[in-house]
Structure 1
Amino acid sequence: MLYRVEGIVIRSMDYGENNKIVTLLCDSGGKAGVLVRGAKKVKSRYGSLSQPFTYGEFQFIRGKGLGTLQHGEMIQSHHALRGQLDLSAFASYIAELTDRTLQEDESSAFLFQQLKACFAAMQEGKDPAIVSHLYEMRILELAGYSPELEECVQCGNRVGPFVLSGGAGGILCSRCRHRDPGALSLGETAHKLLRLFQRMDIRRLGNIAVSPETKAELKASMRSLMDHQLGLQLKSRGFLDQLDKLV
């Protein structure tokens, strides 16, 4: 059967001497594996379509398994996401997170739009850490683990101060914080931003200036939620951590 989709390359791997296999997140929301013949050749017509983070139109024939590309057109290369080390690290993390979270038969057209907006925002120079946290919130929501950030997960208290418990999946008030000795301190600004991230469509993101202290709180909070709720071991996140140590 012939498929015609818009897709974003979230994984690309060599196959044989001259070919590549790409994994696409399609505008329908599903994933598709597609063989791009001759992609590694210098004069390949479709070599650029097999590059990570590429957004394009893909036509491929597919039976029960892997598809084979018949025709394709570039829409956005996202060259900067491959050419700048920090952007490449964040984009690789987002792509791997998407690939590992979304099953082959799952469908979320909204997630496709959010991934497209995520890469576009990074390309435009918006803070990649903030963009990544917004996308992580979308992933938690898709997986059914959207955190409780409005009231204490134990007693329902809405009066702070609060701490963030990744294991409990949300905030704990001062009366309940003893239930998780490892809960993280959560300043008022970081708490407000986390609630904003939970509601915000990435396509509406403007420029947000965040202090280094608040960014550190946001990173620790999102890391705790992702680790406790999803428990994924991602190679790309290790590279991000190494990059942080060099800054």
Structure 2
Amino acid sequence: MSQLEEVHGLVLSVRRHRERDYLVKLFTREYGKLMFFVRGTKNPNNKLKPAIQPFTQATYIADIREQGLSFIRDVKLVSPFSSIQQDIFQNAYGTYILQLADAALEDKQVDVNVFEQLVRGLEAIDEGLDAEVIMNIFEIRFLSQFGVMPELRGCVICGTTEGAFDYSSLHHGLLCPKHYFEDERRYHASPKAIHFIRLFSVISFDKIKSISITDETKKEIRAVIDQLYDEMVGIKLKSRRFIDSMKQWENMLKPSPDKKE
């Protein structure tokens, strides 16, 4: 049994099926992640072709099936993230964000909040905001989807929310300096990195007008996030490995502007 209806979707991945057809995974606002079959888009003038490209959102006229693949029949209001599609660096970060979302969410798991965040985050990258920082924000947010979000609001021992903090795996959250002794194996992370990670967990994309973080602090943030993911999530996506390798030649192609915090 099926029904034809409009769904608002964001393209997560596309792969060719035989010679002329495609399998397109959409994250939809209404149904969560679904795999769609798209027939006969070899013709470059096919109106569906622009709507199934990576980094595209649209309103799809779809035949939703409870079992098996659903089908995209028509499309309207196609909105590509053009800058991400054309820029290799933005593309790399955007690809990882979408693959992380795919890994964090079950198929058909409806989450309007995550859908809206993904759209806002990709819009921010497309508008030229720092893609690496946007990626870090999603990495922290998706800890909740993986079911392992630590306590980042304040010290897990006394509850204080002001001052410097470090992260404790033992207590699955932050420690203030008065309680560092509670975990001798705490991360010994940069207080500045912890500050930004706390901020990433709560800030709204709509409130981000500019991003200014030094390369040194970005490295410190990266180190903490890597520890969190290694300990609690345990996945290493190919797109992340590509970003790691990209860092080795990025500065050769794209000079980094001086940044201040």
TM-score norm. by structure 2 comes to 0.85
Quickly say closer, same or farther: Cα 1:7–1:166, change in 2 above 3 A: farther
SS across alignment from 2:184 = helix
Identify which of 73, 80, 98 aligns with 2:101.
Answer: 98
Gaps of 5+ in 1: none
Amino acid at match of 2:101: T
The CA deviation at 1:141 is 2.1
| CA distances 1:194-228 after superposition (whole Å, capped 9, x unpaired) | 22111112232220211111111111122222232
Looking at structure 1, the residues matched to 50 and 188 of structure 2 have their Cα atoms a distance apart, in angstroms, of 44
Partner of 2:259: none
Looking at structure 1, the residues matched to 196 and 96 of structure 2 have their Cα atoms a distance apart, in angstroms, of 21
Partner of 1:30: 32
Looking at structure 2, the residues matched to 56 and 194 of structure 1 have their Cα atoms a distance apart, in angstroms, of 32
The CA deviation at 1:100 is 1.1
Looking at structure 2, the residues matched to 43 and 103 of structure 1 have their Cα atoms a distance apart, in angstroms, of 34
Determine if contact 1:60/1:68 at 8 Å carries over to the other structure.
Answer: yes
Identify which of 240, 245, 259 aligns with 1:242.
Answer: 245
Superposition CA RMSD, Å? 2.1
Answering whether residue 180 of structure 2 is matched by residue 174 of structure 1, we say yes
Looking at structure 2, the residues matched to 147 and 122 of structure 1 have their Cα atoms a distance apart, in angstroms, of 26
Answering whether residue 203 of structure 2 is matched by residue 185 of structure 1, we say no
The CA deviation at 1:22 is 0.9
SS across alignment from 1:185 = coil
The CA deviation at 1:120 is 0.2
213-222 vs 120-129, greater mean Cα deviation: 213-222
Partner of 2:59: 57
Looking at structure 1, the residues matched to 231 and 101 of structure 2 have their Cα atoms a distance apart, in angstroms, of 17
Identify which of 219, 225, 228 aligns with 1:225.
Answer: 228
87-96 vs 139-148, greater mean Cα deviation: 139-148
Determine if contact 2:62/2:72 at 8 Å carries over to the other structure.
Answer: yes
SS across alignment from 1:103 = coil
The CA deviation at 1:4 is 1.2
The residue correspondences of 1:3-152 to structure 2 (distance < 5 A) are 3-28=5-30, 30-63=32-65, 64-152=67-155
Q: Identity of counterpart residues, as a percentage?
A: 27
Amino acid at match of 1:38: G
Amino acid at match of 2:215: P
The CA deviation at 1:50 is 1.2
Looking at structure 2, the residues matched to 241 and 167 of structure 1 have their Cα atoms a distance apart, in angstroms, of 28
The residue correspondences of 1:193-212 to structure 2 (distance < 5 A) are 193-212=196-215
TM-score norm. by structure 1 comes to 0.89
The CA deviation at 1:184 is 4.4
SS across alignment from 1:71 = strand
* Alignment: residue pair count: 243
| CA distances 1:157-208 after superposition (whole Å, capped 9, x unpaired) | 748654334575433442134245xx24222x32222221111122322202
Determine if contact 1:13/1:21 at 8 Å carries over to the other structure.
Answer: yes
Amino acid at match of 2:203: M
Determine if contact 1:165/1:224 at 8 Å carries over to the other structure.
Answer: no
| CA distances 1:71-121 after superposition (whole Å, capped 9, x unpaired) | 012432112212111101001001101111110131110000000001100
SS across alignment from 2:206 = helix
Determine if contact 1:166/1:229 at 8 Å carries over to the other structure.
Answer: no
